[in-house]
Structure 1
Amino acid sequence: MMNRRGILKAVAAGSAIAALPVPTLAQSFPTVEEVLFDPAIPVIGNPDGDITVAEYFDYQCPFCKRGHKELMEIVRADGNVRLVMKDWPIFGAVSVHASSLVLASGESYEKALNALMATPGRLGKEEVDSVLSESGLDPSGLLAAFKSDQARIDGILARNMDQANAFGFGGTPAFIIGIRIYHGAMDRKALEAAIATARES
């Protein structure tokens, strides 16, 4: 398992790693169970849904943020989708900080996630803390919660990074819908079609 220093080093080299051809990565291909049913990652939507959507994302990715509200609307309207947000903090230490606090937020996970995904553009550490505070959360309390749960959270980030590299993702967002891989941003029509295709498979 990659330690936190290793994660930060990998983040710094993220674009170069992701650009490598898959065979160069010399790692095993992740299983459907590992990708879609990681018990350490919270589930949004219907935990017993018939289709799982997994999004590899970064809190500083403008394309991730642009599509997030629509994705959430689709999950709510469908009623039978499991949504698993796969933190892949490739934009540096601030992204790691944001992921760490949100993953430590427990029952407030969805609230924290949505608050940061609603922000425009790039973020600084102070902005992350301010946005969470404005949404009614305590950043210092979340940091303390992260420190007490660091092994689980660092494990999530390491597994997500390994999976994204194994799939050859060139950046965020990227999706697994059912058992199909989708590179890049997806609008409402594309997401709904992908979910329908997964149900037909």
Structure 2
Amino acid sequence: MTRLAPLALIGLMAAPVQALDLTKMSDAERQAFRAEVRAYLMENPQVILDAVAVLEERNAAAQENADLTLVSDNADAIFNDGYSWVGGNPEGDVTVVEFLDYRCGYCAKAFDEVKELITADGNIRFIVKEFPILGQASLDSSRFAVATKIAAGDEAYDLMHEALMKYRGSTKPAALSRLAASLGLDPEPIVAALKDPQVDAAIRANHDLAQKLQINGTPTFVFGDQLLRGYVPLNAMEQIVEEQREG
């Protein structure tokens, strides 16, 4: 249904553009203008949804551009920190980085899909950023994982990392020692390495980096130059990797 505008509004619309300045309208003109706008929106509510959609698109584009800058400005710390575990193909043409917490349900959900992505692709360099944010059990698990890498090397870390992603038991040193032994690892040097200052330094550095990248949840991924907050399903990850390769 088409509405007939009030006479005051018709006069307003015929006036020069500057007359649309609400501060220069009379009370009657302002009231008529507001009434007509309200009536139009009530009859065409989709306009509001369209406007919201446009706003969301603009905000998403602004966030994406901001994230590109954040990744670029912190590239060395993200991709070449010298202490984070590097898996997959160390010479891969695309680097995927994951900030994770062992007690994060979505990290656990993503684990098998990330592993499948890396194994099936064969040309992805994968970096794990220990980022415990969900309490003491998370911190205990990350500290034990980092200590395992220090004490027993990358292969041992890989085993422990996978085990901890699925482990929901006690995170006391004795319990994690039993977990290490079940993987064929000697727990004694790992427990000793828990006292190494590098353990807490690595985790603290990851927290500092996350703050710079405006990361406050897990999982968070960096695919090449793209920063993605939250769980990403396998098919989406595959598409993003291809987009990174295409440039």
| TM-score over 0.5 (shorter chain) | yes
Letter in 2 for 1:132: A
Distance in 1, matches of 2:80 and 2:128, equals 11
Mean Cα deviation higher: 91-100 or 35-44: 91-100
The answer to whether structure 1 residue 70 and structure 2 residue 113 are counterparts is yes
Unpaired segments ≥5 residues, structure 2: 1-69
* Higher RCO structure (Cα 8 Å, ≥6 apart): 1
Q: CA RMSD in A?
A: 1.9
Kindly provide the CA deviation profile for residues 15-61 of structure 1, in whole angstroms up to 9, marking residues without a partner as x: xxxxxxxxxxxxx9852111111111121111111111110000111
TM-score between the two structures when normalised by the length of structure 2: 0.63
Report the Cα distance in structure 2 between the residues aligned to 1:145 and 1:166, rounded to whole angstroms: 28
Deviation, 1:98, is 1.2
Q: Partner residue of 2:194?
A: 146
| Matches of 2:115 and 2:215, distance apart in 1 | 22
Q: Is the 8 A contact 1:116 1:132 kept in 2?
A: no
Change over 3 Å in CA distance of 1:124–1:173 after alignment to 2: same
Work out whether 1:115 is the aligned partner of 2:166.
Answer: no
Tell me what 2:139 maps to: 96
Aligned equivalents of 1:63, 1:123: Cα separation in 2? 18
Matching residue's letter, 1:103: V
Q: Which has the larger helix fraction?
A: 2
Deviation at 1:95, TM superposition (A): 1.6
- Correspondence for 1:24: none
The letter of the residue matching 1:187 is: P
The aligned counterpart of 2:215 is 169
- Give how far 1:123 is off: 4.5
Q: What is the aligned counterpart of 2:128 among 75, 85, 96?
A: 85
Unaligned 5+ residue runs, structure 1?
A: 1-27
Distance 1:110 1:55 in 2: 14
Q: Identify which of 179, 185, 194 aligns with 2:240.
A: 194
Tell me the matched-pair count.
170
Which of residues 52, 60, 64 is equivalent to 2:95? Answer: 52
| Structure 1 length-normalised TM | 0.77
